[in-house]
Chain A
Amino acid sequence: MIKQKVRVKTFKIDDITVTGQSDQTVLEVAREHNIYIPTLCYLEGLSCVGSCRMCLVEIKGCRELAPACTSKIKEGMEVVTTSPDIQAHRNMILSMLFSERTHTCSVCVVNGNCELQDKTVELGLEHSLVPYLEQRFEIDASHKNFVHDPNRCILCTRCVRVCDEIEGAHALDLVDRGINTRIIHDMDEPWADSQSCTSCGKCVYVCPTGALYEKDISTEEKLKKTDIILNLIKSRKKDD
């Protein structure tokens, strides 16, 4: 395969002139220049899938808002990261995330340590803008150390990506479509029966909500360790 040359591109984010490499995304360049764009499914060190749409931005000339985490930069492009329209979209997306599954924060093991919950504070959402759908999924507590509660899953696929890209096991994947989509282990088997799961716990540590959690741990204990990915990548590079 012929590798494309990486070039330097200059463009504008919120009227600030920035530069980045042509293989970078709008989000990466924005973060390098300390311009904040809210994210949920994005996790540094993992591939970007743009599944949560929290990082929607306006790109001048584009008819629709685009996710910053999957939009590659272009020379001379003009990006707007905040506007009343973008805020309204983000609030609606957040409302939909809350309404699709059952996120009863007060009885959740990650209450106070949840990225979805944090987003309501950050975006100023006080109540859901759409009715709750209240569908129920079976909880998988078969694993000796961990629990999978699809009722609290936002389908960000961080767990799928970390298992595939960092652990190299690809024990997790998605099944079904739309509102019925679920994270599964192997061929939709109980977690305990998964042949490919190494029980490393990385999926649990990067899960932004209470969909994956450690057994026998209280809400006061720190459950999530999202920085584990970057630390692993760094130490693996050192070993090379």
Chain B
Amino acid sequence: MTKIRLATIWLDGCSGCHMSFLDMDERLIELAPYFDLVYSPYVDAKEFPKEVDLSIVEGAVSSDHDLEMIKKIRANSKTILALGDCAVTGNVSALKNLYGTDAVLQRGYFELADINKNKRYPSQIVPKLLDKVIPLHEAVKIDYFLPGCPTPADAVYETIKALIEGREINVNELTRFGK
């Protein structure tokens, strides 16, 4: 049996969907023989590898770094699964769009800041925010969508199992927007 090369990543999300991934509990052991985890917040890999079979992406595209990452993921992955409402709809991350990036930065870095004497928004190291937070499929082609905030562990398990076994499932029976 050839193991699939699996990557997981979170962009602009709260990591709740990754917690759901861990929440599969003993079923992780059941799934473990089927994949090699080549990139993930769970492991210490610095660079996104090439020739990944399945990339599970949590979170929306919010900064120039997120955009760069999702393009890199697309270029190096056979299949991408958008995991959770932020990846699928923008969700809480995209609430910022109602006020605009400038207003949010103003609030975060100036109005609520105790220490920022120079009154400057960091321009180095911290990624630059895009004008608008977008769901993954507005940036690159996404193969599978799994909504939920966070996506329930059962839905994550059933979907990964179906993808490994190469069969179709109806994700709407397992999860939905918001729940």
Contact = CB atoms under 8 A, between A and B. Distances in A.
Question: Which of B82, B95, B177 has the most chain A CB within a 10 Å cutoff?
Answer: B177
A117 B172 CA distance: 11
B99 A136 contact: yes
Interface stretch (B30-38, B47-55, B132-140): B132-140
Question: Which of A105, A120, A136 has the most chain B CB within a 10 Å cutoff?
Answer: A105
B113 to A, nearest CB: 24
A102 B138 contact: no
B77 interface: no
Contact of A127 (B99, B135, B173): B135
A127 B178 CA distance: 12
B1 interface: no
Interface string A105-120: 1111001101001001
A121 B172 contact: yes
B141 to A, nearest CB: 12
Contacts of B153: none
Contacts, number: 77
A121 B94 contact: no
B172 to A, nearest CB: 5
Contacts of A126: 88, 145-147, 171-172
Which label, helix, strand, loop or mixed, suits the secondary structure of the A interface? loop
Interface residues of B, number: 30
26 contacts: A104-B89, A104-B92, A105-B85, A105-B178, A106-B85, A106-B177, A106-B178, A107-B92, A111-B178, A112-B179, A117-B178, A121-B173, A125-B172, A126-B88, A126-B146, A126-B171, A127-B82, A131-B134, A131-B138, A132-B89, A132-B94, A132-B97, A134-B94, A134-B97, A134-B132, A151-B98
Closest 10 CB pairs of A and B: A105-B178, A106-B149, A126-B145, A134-B97, A136-B98, A105-B177, A111-B178, A127-B145, A121-B172, A106-B178
Interface of B: 82, 85, 88-92, 94-95, 97-99, 132, 134-135, 137-138, 142, 145-147, 149, 170-173, 176-179
